[in-house]
Structure 1
Amino acid sequence: MDNTKQASTVIHKSLKLNRDYLDETLGVGKSFDIIAKEFHFDDHKAACYCVNGFFMTNGIFLLVRNIGKEIINFAKNNPSFEPNNLAEYLNTHISFVQVSLEKDMSKALTQILAGPMVWFLEGYDVAVVVDTRVYPARSPSESEVERVVRGPRDAYTETLITNTALTRRRIRDPNLRMEISQIGERSKTDICISYIENLTNKDLVSRVKERLKTITTDGIPMAEQSLDEYLVNSRWSSRWNPYPLVRYTERPDIAANYLLQGHVVIFVDTTPEVIILPTTFFHHLHHPEDYHMRPAVGTYMRWMILLAILMSLFLPAVWLEFAMHPKFLPKWLWFIGPEKGSHHISLPWQLLFVEIGLDILRRAIINTPLALASAIGLIAGIVFGQLTVKVGLISSEALVYIALATIGSFATSSIELSNANRMTRIALLILVGFFHMYGLIAGILIWFIWMANVKTFGIPYLWPLFPFDWLGVKQILIRQPAPAEMYRPKILKTQDITKK
């Protein structure tokens, strides 16, 4: 028991002790993908451990043979060598791979499971880590979420090194930092914090790093979403806040743009989504298409997206109030409200039924194979369109206004913001259904006060509207020509406020 404990932190000079511990811990013989092989070179012994599927397949046998020979040759000629000397020798005698040494058994074990090939030598208390890993990966392709008519078609993938390379390709600043660490006692998930060292607020970077260090969990299998919930959901109100407190993107051009503004970007291995922080409510209004249009057209589209968000939030609740109390209506809005006797269910229930039905339909389409998706849409069109109105369950006007709100949700640039707005819309419908005009006014006020009190890493969520900042409002609402964008958002308190 003592030997096992010692072996878990110390690499022995005895190759047998090291092998016994590793074979038992890694389940060699039980797990088919763990490769463990012992080599004999003259009078010297060595053992190699790696994970099948994580190493280069082309020429791997020749590479293993060369590594083993070089290690033994060095050991023969340098009986009492310093570990650093071995690393220097291997890095200059083995091509195309990076070599390092590890003195801690637990770290060597993590390296094996992360992909590198790890060698243990008879008579030496160090492990040789040879980075031959090549993770299974797909090629960068167009993002399915953030599509554009014009602009780049490459998007992030599930492989961390590919994502950092796509970002480096756009920002060749030597001050761009990519700091890697691991989260999860069992998953050991690689994450990378990216920022521009002489630009980004140092306090912001420190706060992000400190928050990451406090995360204690078995793993983050849901990748970016799990990490988001640990990063920003420190209070009860934040944990149950449906609104996104960080921004996600699959596009390297968007991530690069935010880095140049002074934000921090976090890459998580195994997911194509990267985390941008801190962000406000209005950061979710921007779409990459805005930057691939002329400034006047881009500004117009920003206003249209803002109108779509207002529709998705407030339109059904406002229509419900006026439809139930037509005396509040101006004469020129005489057409609002369903015809009397055209339905058997009260208006609040109609709208809630349609909202719930659309959410169920949305999930059904996601879970339906592509070959049957069109059939689901056809059935939904008949059920939600003709039949419900014909039998008097739901009025045609209710369908129209919920459809307009749904279109506004789909036009919203951020899916996370769209989902949160849908929950707010349902809450407003319930308040109006029970408390009428008082419920509508109270609901809007509660929403605004609640959002005004939300902060992400010290930045107000409704900035620049609250607290008001005219320059920030201009940056949000107007897509400035590139030469006119002279300043970074001052709320980030960057080390360099001007864009040179």
Structure 2
Amino acid sequence: MLVIPFEPDIICIKKNSFGEAITDNPTKEFFIMKEMISEDLYENMEYFHEKLQVTKNFDMIYRMLSVGGRDACLYFIEGYIKDDIMEKLLEFFHSLTPEDLPQTSHELTHSYIPYVEVDMVQEKEQIITNILSGVVCLLIDGYDKCFAIDCRSYPMRSVEEPDKDKTLRGSKDGFVETVVFNTALIRRRIRSPQLTMEMLSAGESSRSNIVLCYMQGRADEALVQKLRERIESLQVDALPMSQESLAEAIYKRKWFNPFPKFKYTQRPDTTSASLLEGKIAILVDNAPTAILLPVTIFDIMEDADDFYFPPLTGSYLRFSRFVIAFLSLLLTPVWLLFMQNPQWIPPWLDFIKVADTVYVPILLQLLILEFAIDGLKLAAVNTPQTLSTPLSVIAGIVVGEFAVKSGWFNSETMLYMAFVAIANYTQSNFELGYALKFMRILLLVLVGIFGGWGLAAGILICVLCIACNRTVSGTSYLYPLIPFDGRQLARRLFKKRTA
């Protein structure tokens, strides 16, 4: 970039943190001019050879050729291009005569190349970005314009149902790591001109492609503009963790509130349905997941199976998920409170008492098992598929049977924690499951220290964490419960007919 110091006859542009142009106090700012390519091919090649380190990078390819009697050079990255298309393009270039090309660069347009996706680029930085993104760039001597030919083909896996978001019915396709294919999966379901997909980028080094998807007329335009400005004004070097890095960058939430503000999904049908409801989806290249916002806790607890079954079955599945989430939060803390105060147990619940001798305090048993369950999860994730069965057998025998016989754990403690571990998998949202886990650990600690008052305080803290949480757009996290909207609340709790 060429930076020219301020002069009185030059209008300077100052930008705020959101990239908006402002004009206050211009004397302290600088006018920035974007550097363009020249008409000299070899001067341009010298620049791009140095910037792209062509001699060091084995996959950075340049190809000299003749186009209409003029020297030309192709820049591209090996592994991105389609060989059959490039072969036809090279045949076309060699067949051109001097009469086929215009005399001046001002007459040069993308129509001179018989290919669908061709752009004319003059900025050097933009040309470098195109080349590093896999676009073939053609420079011709005597012209100060570059042909950017998008004939790239990214390596990708097949479009198949994601392991995390499986459904009993419905479509069996899922997002992949290539953002263009993900947008096509959404376009296939929403054939409306109101569906808008804006291409943005972020990251000084990564220059990651980010797509902002929304329905015009349904999405909150103020929120769309706010997200657009935040993405464009991001001052980050890269997005190493794709959508999670972007989510943390565009919304810096308080770390002590674990309840999620975003909903992540790998299903294009869920994303399409959310867009039709007025939500916004953010797709990041190299991430097979869409970020949906703004979302409430009722949106996060929804699952695709709720909509693929008749109203009665879908309502039952949704109601069961709410009840199980409530039980997974309170079951072990309430049981611990009863064990500390056996006189509070009614006669018809005497069977919940621990029958064997307690060698390790029950609170410590529950906390150890909370961490042990996560340890087993991590072990299962990092275990090769061929060894997953032996791992399950070892975990079932050693942790399940020998841990009880050795006196470390009581069978009742193992039973209730087994229910909690299974109940966590009823939540399709991974972040919400861990938010409930953190609240449950807090309840256990408070009950273990303060007894009944600790349980009351823990429940109050949990309610405040949910009630005081706000969506990305600033609305209530508990809508339609707070503020109350009976019609929408009934729609969130019970599935209705779609037609």
User: When the two structures are superposed, what TM-score results if normalisation uses the length of structure 2?
Assistant: 0.90
Give the whole-Å Cα distance in 2 for the aligned partners of 1:70 and 1:155. 44
Query: Where do 5+ consecutive residues of structure 2 fail to align?
Result: 4-31
Number of matched residues?
Answer: 470
SS at match of 1:58: helix
Give the whole-Å Cα distance in 1 for the aligned partners of 2:256 and 2:35. 41
Amino acid at match of 2:330: F
1:206 pairs with one of 217, 220, 225: 225
Give the whole-Å Cα distance in 1 for the aligned partners of 2:491 and 2:225. 27
1:471 pairs with one of 487, 491, 494: 487
2:449 equivalent in structure 1: 434
Structure with more helix by fraction? 1
Residue pairs, 1:264-303, within 5 angstroms: 264-303=280-319
SS at match of 2:139: strand
Indicate conservation of the 8 Å contact 1:7/1:18, yes or no: no
2:8 equivalent in structure 1: none
SS at match of 1:120: strand
Amino acid at match of 1:63: L
Could you tell me how far 1:337 is from its partner in structure 2? 2.5
Give the whole-Å Cα distance in 2 for the aligned partners of 1:132 and 1:343. 69
Give the whole-Å Cα distance in 2 for the aligned partners of 1:294 and 1:42. 65
Indicate conservation of the 8 Å contact 1:119/1:127, yes or no: yes
1:170 equivalent in structure 2: 189
1:446 pairs with one of 461, 469, 474: 461
1:345 pairs with one of 356, 360, 378: 360
Indicate conservation of the 8 Å contact 1:176/1:196, yes or no: yes
After TM superposition, the structure 1 stretch with the greater mean CA deviation from structure 2, 357-366 or 65-74, is: 65-74
Could you tell me how far 1:8 is from its partner in structure 2? 8.2
1:220 equivalent in structure 2: 239
1:362 equivalent in structure 2: 377
SS at match of 2:159: coil
1:182 equivalent in structure 2: 201
Give the whole-Å Cα distance in 2 for the aligned partners of 1:89 and 1:229. 42
1:330 equivalent in structure 2: 346
Does 1:459 find its partner at 2:478?
no
Give the whole-Å Cα distance in 2 for the aligned partners of 1:68 and 1:145. 51
Does 1:248 find its partner at 2:264?
yes
SS at match of 1:381: helix
Does 1:53 find its partner at 2:75?
no
Give the whole-Å Cα distance in 2 for the aligned partners of 1:325 and 1:70. 92
After TM superposition, the structure 1 stretch with the greater mean CA deviation from structure 2, 99-108 or 451-460, is: 451-460
Query: Where do 5+ consecutive residues of structure 1 fail to align?
Result: 484-500
Deviations 1:166-204 (A, max 9, x none): 101100011110110111111011111111112222112
Could you tell me how far 1:349 is from its partner in structure 2? 0.1
Amino acid at match of 1:25: K
2:16 equivalent in structure 1: none
Give the whole-Å Cα distance in 2 for the aligned partners of 1:259 and 1:72. 51
Could you tell me how far 1:329 is from its partner in structure 2? 2.4
Give the whole-Å Cα distance in 1 for the aligned partners of 2:94 and 2:108. 13
2:40 equivalent in structure 1: 14
Does 1:89 find its partner at 2:111?
yes
Could you tell me how far 1:159 is from its partner in structure 2? 0.8
Does 1:232 find its partner at 2:251?
yes
Indicate conservation of the 8 Å contact 1:7/1:17, yes or no: no
2:151 equivalent in structure 1: 132
1:23 equivalent in structure 2: 49
Residues 305/445 of structure 1: CA separation in 2 closer, same or farther (3 Å cut): same
2:22 equivalent in structure 1: none
SS at match of 1:218: coil
1:32 equivalent in structure 2: 58
2:17 equivalent in structure 1: none
Indicate conservation of the 8 Å contact 2:2/2:34, yes or no: no
SS at match of 1:40: strand
SS at match of 1:300: helix
Indicate conservation of the 8 Å contact 1:51/1:115, yes or no: yes
Deviations 1:78-97 (A, max 9, x none): 21242xx422432xx514x3
After TM superposition, the structure 1 stretch with the greater mean CA deviation from structure 2, 469-478 or 169-178, is: 469-478
1:80 equivalent in structure 2: 104
Could you tell me how far 1:210 is from its partner in structure 2? 2.0
1:494 equivalent in structure 2: none
**Percent identity between the two aligned chains:** 34
Give the whole-Å Cα distance in 2 for the aligned partners of 1:103 and 1:217. 26
Does 1:116 find its partner at 2:135?
yes
User: When the two structures are superposed, what TM-score results if normalisation uses the length of structure 1?
Assistant: 0.90
Residues 425/18 of structure 1: CA separation in 2 closer, same or farther (3 Å cut): same
After TM superposition, the structure 1 stretch with the greater mean CA deviation from structure 2, 424-433 or 65-74, is: 65-74
